Amino acid sequence: MKKVRSLCSILVLFLVITALAGCNSPAKKGSDVGTTQQSSNNSSSDSKKTVRIKFWNGFTASDGDILREIFDRFNEQNDKGIFVEMDIMPWANLLEKLAPALATGTAPALLLLGSEYIPEYAESGGIIPIEDFWDWSKLNRSNYEQNVQDTFMYKGIYYGIPMQYNTMYLYWNKDLFKEAGLDPEKPPKTFDELKEYAALLTNKNKQQYGFGIATGHSNITNFLWSNGGDWLNGEQTEAACNSPEMIEVLKMLRDFAVSGVTPVGMSGAELDNLLMAGQLGLYINGPWLINGCRQNNLNFGIGAVPAANDGHLQVPGGGCAFMVTSSASEEEKIAAYECIKYWLSKDVLKEWSIRNGFPAWSKEVLEDEEIKKDEIQSVLGPLSKYGRLPFAGMPEYNQIANEYLDPLFEQLMYGQITPEECARMMADGINSILRKK
């Protein structure tokens, strides 16, 4: 019995020591002691690397494969001993993980985020000013479109270096156009044409929808500005969305749901799949679907979002920027700058535009002959001027969208509230948050 007890005691002590040994301090930041290697399978060059940085982004579609390929190449080619560990996850998951990671100092050094998140994370100190990048990199700043750079500014300070810039575009399935007796080279140009085409493209027996409207208020913005309305007044101090222009747009979107032209309650990812499966006639989204459409051999067209009946067009624009988080050490920050500098090279930007369809935003790339001849680029490039950043410079954007705009838009599409109620409740919601400022 005594022997058993002694044995138990020794065993328990061993377990405690082992457990405590597991709680040792994490690897020194920026050292060559890395964790899991997620970006590349190139382990042979691994031993030479001295600075490993984590890089989070939400490029889960086929564009992520290209991004990964580009950074794998960076890992192989750079002579600074930098190794990028890329972690790709859905944007929603990234945002959920980011706040706790920043709070605990475990966020990645490098991050890709949409411009709309800059105010929120700049205010909380989660991302750091990146003003010194241009001096450090010695790149010719004037080569890059100034309005694109300014998209990632908050209170006069730059927090992000643009990775890409885009607006929203209309995708259409040319095969479904032919089946419906429509000219596949002539997409709808106005709201009225959109309604007409969407109805013709709907075939309930085949589970085929004429037009896809995802959950999320950006689907309202796609039409609201063109229709002459806006979310906020010019000073961004009060809601301006309880307006006839807004109600008209909400009625149009609601009618699409009632008539079964669009499925209700679908996320963007679900509608992406529907488009790829050839079950969606018309769909508004960013350029990130181009590569997926190509890979799925979809006979598709891409062009401008339908304008208001008077021809006015303005759609949400924005993009993604490289940001450096407050968790990054000085060494990691410099490594992150090296990555950004690599990205801003003509070859990489051109490759991204050609292979992925994103409109070029560097003057050098825009002048490139191959870019000029590219079919997609020639269509998307001129559309950039119609883009505008929604809720620009507002740290409350995320809260407004999550608390009021998205839930109320969902209620509208499910027929729980009328367009008039929706517009009024959205305005009240926005004002309630703005008054707390």
* Binding region for another protein (CB under 8 A): 2, 5-6, 8-9, 12-13, 15-16, 19, 92, 95-96, 99-100, 102-103, 120, 124-126, 207, 215, 263-266, 270, 273-274, 277, 279, 395-396, 398-399, 402-403, 407, 410-411, 414, 416
Shortest distance in whole angstroms from residue 408 CB to another protein: 10
Beta pairing class for 51-57 and 82-88? parallel
Instruction: Output the six-digit token pair for 73.
Output: 């190449």
Shortest distance in whole angstroms from residue 206 CB to another protein: 11
Shortest distance in whole angstroms from residue 123 CB to another protein: 9
Is the CB of 7 or the CB of 157 nearer to another protein? 7
Is the CB of 64 or the CB of 407 nearer to another protein? 407
Rounded to the nearest angstrom, the gap between the alpha carbon of residue 188 and the centroid of all alpha carbons in its chain is 26
Is the four-CA dihedral 382, 280, 184, 253 of positive or negative sign?
negative
Is the CB of 105 or the CB of 382 nearer to another protein? 105
Rounded to the nearest angstrom, the gap between the alpha carbon of residue 352 and the centroid of all alpha carbons in its chain is 15
Is the CB of 165 or the CB of 211 nearer to another protein? 211
Beta pairing class for 209-212 and 280-285? parallel
Residues 6+ apart with CB under 8 A from 394: 119, 236, 400
Dihedral of the CA atoms 202, 204, 206, 207 (nearest 10)?
90
Distance between CA 182 and CA 81 in Å, rounded? Answer: 56
Is the CB of 51 or the CB of 280 nearer to another protein? 280
Is the CB of 3 or the CB of 138 nearer to another protein? 3
DSSP string, 79-146: SS-EEEEEEE--HHHHHHHHHHHHHTT-S-SEEEEEGGGHHHHHHHTSB---TTHHHHHT--GGGB-H
Is the four-CA dihedral 56, 58, 60, 65 of positive or negative sign?
negative
Residues 6+ apart with CB under 8 A from 12: none
Shortest distance in whole angstroms from residue 265 CB to another protein: 4
Shortest distance in whole angstroms from residue 398 CB to another protein: 4
Shortest distance in whole angstroms from residue 278 CB to another protein: 12
Is the CB of 244 or the CB of 265 nearer to another protein? 265
Shortest distance in whole angstroms from residue 126 CB to another protein: 7
